[in-house]
Amino acid sequence: MSGTSIPEKPLVRIGLIGLGVVGQQHLDSASRLTDGVITCVCDARAEIAESTAGTRGIARWTSSADDVFADPDVDAVLLALPTGIRTPLAIAALRAGKHILLEKPVAMNAAETRSILAVQGDRVAACCSSRLRAFASARAARAHVASGALGQIRAVTCRVIAPAGAPPAKTPPAWRLSRALNGGGILVNWGCYDLDYLLGILDWNLEPGHVLAHTWQTPSPFAHYPAPGSDAETHVVATITFTNGAVLHYERAECAVEAESRSWRISGDKGALILQMAPSKGAVVQVSEPDPARGSVTRALWEGDESGWATFNDGPLLDFASAIRHDHAPLTSLRDSLLIARLTEGIYRSADTARPVAFTDL
């Protein structure tokens, strides 16, 4: 009937499983939701689930994930849990008909990611590795790439070095540098953000060919910094080729014995972007482009203040609820996450074997 408005869809009802530090951050973000609401919280520690529900004013709590999956008043599930235990719960949630938002990295490996994809069906499935693309600077960079202004992509670069600070006041969590519990070290902890940021700006339009990589654990002067028994890397270097001729140069290090360095770049045959992934005051995205009279010139594409970390934490949850309620793709879908998982697995396999690895094998 002419002039009849389409009724607005109801708010997305979300169950949160996992009430550690990250889960509490998601609850802070939930206070800014416009398309959803947390209706249930869950943690294996019943006392934490109960106290969190009371403090946050949430009606229902449980210590059983199965209760959340069976709850008819839950449309979607946010899994704020360690990587090593998340995949079976993600599969169970999808089989129960729930949409899912997964903390990063998406899974322990590409095989686990594919096992989640196999049961996704028509549900929305997203990953929190999208945090850095919720910023306006990243949206401006993506729009510039989509315009074709860079031409054929040639080189994608990430080099981020974080020097060691003072000895930690308390022992870091054991999972953080554990291959068994977390799937790896700095590559999965921060590399998933780097890869999501760069590949997302490129609209996920790269298919990997080969990788050659190496990893190192904590440098000997700081070997006492990580938790005892840590076996994952704090420094990774990789070169990845793509089937369209582009190359990714990647290096990430923490607890390093060298000065700080931060660089994210995307270069094509018609222009280049100099990016600033980390939130900061006075953030700027620069573009280099040809000028008929002067040759190559560099100018600001986007400038602004992105020093607040709220956008970093809020982005995935707000985008997830919006994707469900308004029928659009999330910032980072499960299929997008599979590309990150394949790249990560290829880097580790090359580093473990000291040989180049073909992604056709992954």
Coil, helix or strand at residue 238: strand
Q: How far apart are CA 31 and CA 140, in angstroms?
A: 27
Residue with tokens 């590399």: 191
Q: Are residues 158 and 188 in the same domain?
A: yes
Q: Are strands 247-256 and 153-163 parallel, antiparallel or unpaired?
A: parallel
Structural domain for 59, as ranges: 12-129
pLDDT tens by residue, 252-306:
999 999 999 999 999 999 999 999 987 788 889 999 999 999 999 999 999 998 8
1 band by pLDDT with thresholds 50, 70 and 90: very low
Per-residue HEC secondary structure of 256-323 comes to ECCCCEEEEEEEECCCEEEECCCCCCCEEEEEEEEECCCEEEEEEEEEECCCCCHHHHHHHHHHHHHH
pLDDT in tens, 85-125: 999 999 999 999 999 999 999 999 999 999 999 999 999 99
Asked if residue 326 is part of any domain, the answer here is: no
- Per-residue b or e along 70-109, where b marks 16 or more CB atoms closer than 10 Å to that residue's CB: ebeebbbbbbbbbbbebbebbbbbbeeebbbbbbbbbbbb
Distance (Å, whole) CA 308 – CA 312: 8
The better pLDDT of the pair 8, 32 is held by 32
Q: What is the per-residue pLDDT for 280?
A: 81
User: CA–CA distance from 122 to each of 132, 135, 257, 336 (Å)?
Assistant: 26, 28, 48, 16
Tens digits of residue pLDDT in 13-62: 999 999 999 999 999 999 999 999 999 999 999 999 999 999 999 999 99
Q: How far apart are CA 7 and CA 39, in angstroms?
A: 22
Which of residues 108, 129, 150 is at a domain's end? 129
The mean per-residue pLDDT over the stretch 166-179 comes to 90
Same domain assignment for residues 289 and 224 = yes
Q: How many helices, marked H, and strands, marked E, lie in the chain? A: 11, 15
Query: Cα 167–171–131 angle (5° rounding)?
Result: 90
Domain count, the chain: 2
Torsion angle defined by CA atoms of residues 195, 201, 206 and 211, in that order, rounded to the nearest 10 degrees: -20
Nearest to 261 by CA among 169, 158, 357: 158
pTM of the model: 0.93
Instruction: Tell me what the mean pLDDT of segment 65-84 comes to.
Output: 96
Could you tell me if 168 and 81 lie in one domain?
Answer: no
Task: Show which of 129, 148, 183 is a domain's final residue.
Answer: 129
Which CATH number characterizes residue 144's domain?
3.30.360.10
Examine the domain organization and report whether 76 and 186 are in the same domain. no
**Measuring CA to CA, which residue among 113, 111, 145, 144 is closest to residue 129?**
113
Q: Report the percent of the chain where pLDDT is more than 90.
A: 88
Question: Going by C-beta distance under 8 Å and a sequence separation of 6 or more, which residues neighbour residue 324?
Answer: 12, 35, 36, 75, 76, 99, 124
* 323 located within any domain: no
- Tell whether 312 is covered by a domain: no
User: Do residues 240 and 153 both lie within one domain?
Assistant: yes
